């Protein structure tokens, strides 16, 4: 494409041009020969010389567990979307299509490892034991996250693109300085940092990579390449596959099939182990697809073709595990029915919790700004409360 803006429809209401169609084709990319895959979209196990051994312990029970994780996470994700559409949430950030990338990574973590998410990591939060209802406040506008980041070993969501790469790198440098790396496999720990393909164009990510490399920080940079940064396609972020960028910084990069939970688990286990033993950092590019809108405020039909989604549906991360469990491992319908039931119950609880959430009082916006409250903040709060009271309780 000669015109760098040719992928942007000038009139959003118009039909896509030939250029738009061609730029949409990047989504058909199979991920290239370097893609690590252990479970094909058809549900067949394939081996990988480098990473296959990392999941040798995964049997039918473990696979059923990952299937359950993905179904439950998808179910409350869909409920979040519906709640936003019904006016109960200000916004929802869907993870549809990225369940395997997140569960594979999340289940590779130990309780000692620390995680820095962006804003779409509901599946990783699930793996950290954070109840899905704890995510609702952020999207209902009542809090910035209601879990204790250190206790959960899962930082609060970061909306500022790429910023968490600096936080994660700093945290990982601390792990290194404090000797919690490369000593004892019972106590060693690592950091995992989640970000998107678009974030790789941010200075913060570059700076994080440079510092992490210079200080051998035990951080796994886990990029979920879902092919889009809102309406900006991958080819506007990079000229080379993202995992290859790691080489320029001096650490390894691996591209894994982000719709294959087993491969994501294997590669994440390897990457975290590298970091815990002092061989970090590592970049993992989970090659996946955002099947829904960027957020509920976005309309992807303005900038991408429906065909692209139809192709990725054939690579659905949940379906391939289901097919594998049924055809190769003989798992019967009882199991699938019970997971379905459990997911509906979770969605009902999620919804009921949301509808019962109290609105925070007007003093709430002042209460956790600083650890020590200043006189100025006290005065601002008093002014605001007086102003608020002048409406006589009307909101
Ligand atoms: C520093 C900064 N710039 C711009 C934005 C607006 N913004 C929100 S999400 C987004 C796209 C991010 O895409 P990507 O990194 O691929 O992550 P994805 O949403 O696809 O998971 C942008 C530009 C922001 N939140 N922060
Ligand atoms: Mg993206």
pLDDT digits (tens, 9 = 90+) for 228-268: 999 999 989 988 899 999 999 999 999 999 999 999 999 99
Give buried/exposed letters for 37-64 (b at 16+ CB in 10 A, else e): bbbebebeeeebeebbebbeebeeeebb
- Relative to the CA of 290, which ligand 1 atom is closest? 20
Catalytic residue among 120, 128, 153, 294: 294
Q: How far is the CA of 188 from the centre of ligand 2 (A)?
A: 31
* Rounded Cα gap, residues 322 and 312, in angstroms: 17
Q: Are residues 245 and 370 in the same domain?
A: no
Total tally of structural domains belonging to the chain: 2
Best residue among 117, 166, 203, 229 to mutate for probing ligand 1's pocket (most ligand atoms within 8 Å of CB) is 229
Catalytic residue among 255, 290, 320, 351: 290
Q: Are residues 338 and 376 in the same domain?
A: no
Q: Is 159 in the pocket of ligand 1 (CB under 6 A)?
A: yes
Asked if residue 389 has pLDDT above 60, the reply is: yes
Q: Which residues contact 392 (CB under 8 A, 6 or more apart)?
A: none
Q: Is 264 in the pocket of ligand 1 (CB under 6 A)?
A: no
Q: Are residues 251 and 374 in the same domain?
A: no
Looking at the DSSP bridge assignments, the partners of residue 116 are 193
| Lowest-confidence segment of 5-14, 138-147, 238-247, 380-389 by average pLDDT | 5-14
Residue 184 lies in a domain: yes
Indicate which CATH number applies to the domain containing 214.
Answer: 3.40.50.970
Residue 1 lies in a domain: no
Rounded to 5°, the CA angle 347-351-355 comes to 175
Best residue among 94, 198, 295 to mutate for probing ligand 1's pocket (most ligand atoms within 8 Å of CB) is 198
Mean pLDDT within 19-32? 54
Q: Are residues 53 and 37 in the same domain?
A: yes
Q: Domain range for residue 373?
A: 361-395
What value does the mean pLDDT of the chain take? 92
Q: Are residues 389 and 314 in the same domain?
A: no
Q: Are strands 282-287 and 253-257 parallel, antiparallel or unpaired?
A: parallel
Residue 2 lies in a domain: no
Residue 322 lies in a domain: yes
Q: Are residues 158 and 122 in the same domain?
A: yes
Residue 8 lies in a domain: no
Q: Are residues 87 and 179 in the same domain?
A: yes
Q: Is 226 in the pocket of ligand 1 (CB under 6 A)?
A: yes
Q: What pLDDT, on a 0 to 100 scale, did the predictor assign at position 33?
A: 76
- Relative to the CA of 195, which ligand 1 atom is closest? 15
**Per-residue tokens: 133:** 């209802």
Residue 3 lies in a domain: no
Looking at the DSSP bridge assignments, the partners of residue 193 are 116, 221
Ion ligand 2, residue ranges at CB < 5 A = 196-198, 226, 229
Nearest CA to ligand 1 atom 21: 196
Best residue among 230, 238, 304 to mutate for probing ligand 1's pocket (most ligand atoms within 8 Å of CB) is 230
- Relative to the CA of 163, which ligand 1 atom is closest? 1
Is 294 marked active-site? yes
| Lowest-confidence segment of 105-114, 154-163, 218-227, 384-393 by average pLDDT | 384-393
Is 249 marked active-site? no
Q: Are residues 351 and 376 in the same domain?
A: no
Residue 341 lies in a domain: yes
Q: Are strands 232-233 and 228-229 parallel, antiparallel or unpaired?
A: antiparallel
Residue 260 lies in a domain: yes
Q: What pLDDT, on a 0 to 100 scale, did the predictor assign at position 4?
A: 41
- Integer CA distances (angstroms), 87 to 78, 90, 140, in order: 15, 7, 9
Q: Are residues 393 and 309 in the same domain?
A: no
Asked if residue 15 has pLDDT above 70, the reply is: no
Asked if residue 23 has pLDDT above 80, the reply is: no
What burial class does residue 366 get, using C-beta atoms within 10 Å of its C-beta: 0-12 exposed, 13-18 middle, 19+ buried?
middle
Mean pLDDT within 345-362? 96
Looking at the DSSP bridge assignments, the partners of residue 154 are 115
Q: Are residues 374 and 348 in the same domain?
A: no
Q: Are residues 186 and 220 in the same domain?
A: yes
Q: What pLDDT, on a 0 to 100 scale, did the predictor assign at position 265?
A: 98
Q: Are residues 74 and 169 in the same domain?
A: yes
* pLDDT tens by residue, 274-327: 999 999 999 999 999 999 999 999 999 999 999 999 999 999 999 999 999 999
Catalytic residue among 157, 289, 303, 304: 303
Mean pLDDT within 30-52? 91
Q: What pLDDT, on a 0 to 100 scale, did the predictor assign at position 27?
A: 43
Q: Is 297 in the pocket of ligand 1 (CB under 6 A)?
A: no
Q: How far is the CA of 230 from the centre of ligand 1 (A)?
A: 7
Q: Is 122 in the pocket of ligand 1 (CB under 6 A)?
A: no
């Amino acid at each position: 494409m000669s015109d760098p803006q040719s992928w942007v429809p000038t009139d959003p209401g118009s039909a896509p041009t030939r250029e738009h169609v061609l730029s949409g084709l990047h989504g058909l990319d199979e991920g290239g020969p370097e893609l690590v895959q252990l479970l094909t979209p058809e549900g067949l196990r394939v081996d990988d010389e480098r990473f296959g051994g990392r999941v040798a312990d995964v049997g039918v029970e473990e696979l059923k567990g990952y299937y359950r994780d993905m179904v439950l996470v998808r179910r409350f994700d869909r409920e979040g979307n519906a709640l936003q559409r019904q006016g109960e949430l200000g916004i929802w950030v869907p993870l549809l299509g990225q369940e395997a990338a997140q569960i594979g990574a999340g289940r590779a973590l130990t309780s000692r490892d620390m995680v820095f998410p962006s804003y779409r990591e509901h599946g990783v939060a699930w793996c950290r034991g954070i109840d899905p209802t704890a995510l609702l406040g952020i999207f209902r506008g009542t809090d910035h996250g209601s879990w204790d980041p250190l206790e959960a070993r899962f930082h609060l969501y970061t909306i500022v693109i790429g910023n968490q790469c600096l936080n994660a790198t700093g945290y990982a440098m601390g792990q290194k300085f404090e000797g919690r790396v490369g000593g004892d496999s019972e106590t060693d720990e690592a950091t995992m940092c989640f970000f998107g393909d678009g974030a790789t164009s941010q200075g913060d990510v570059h700076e994080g990579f440079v510092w992490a490399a210079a200080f051998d920080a035990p951080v796994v940079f886990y990029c979920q390449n879902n092919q889009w940064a809102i309406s900006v396609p991958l080819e506007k972020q990079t000229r080379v596959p993202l995992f290859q960028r790691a080489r320029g910084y001096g650490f390894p990069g691996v591209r894994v099939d982000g719709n294959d939970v087993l491969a994501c688990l294997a590669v994440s286990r390897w990457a975290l182990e590298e970091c815990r033993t002092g061989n970090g950092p590592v970049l993992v590019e989970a090659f996946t697809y955002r099947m829904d809108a960027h957020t509920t405020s976005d309309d992807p039909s303005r900038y991408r073709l429906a065909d692209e989604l139809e192709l990725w549906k054939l690579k659905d991360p949940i379906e391939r595990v289901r097919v594998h469990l049924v055809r190769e491992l003989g798992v019967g319908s009882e199991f699938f029915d019970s997971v379905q039931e459990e997911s509906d119950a979770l969605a009902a609880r999620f919804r009921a919790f949301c509808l019962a959430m109290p609105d925070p009082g007007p003093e709430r916006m002042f209460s956790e700004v600083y650890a020590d409250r200043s006189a100025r903040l006290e005065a601002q709060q008093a002014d605001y409360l007086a102003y608020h009271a002048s409406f006589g309780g009307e909101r």
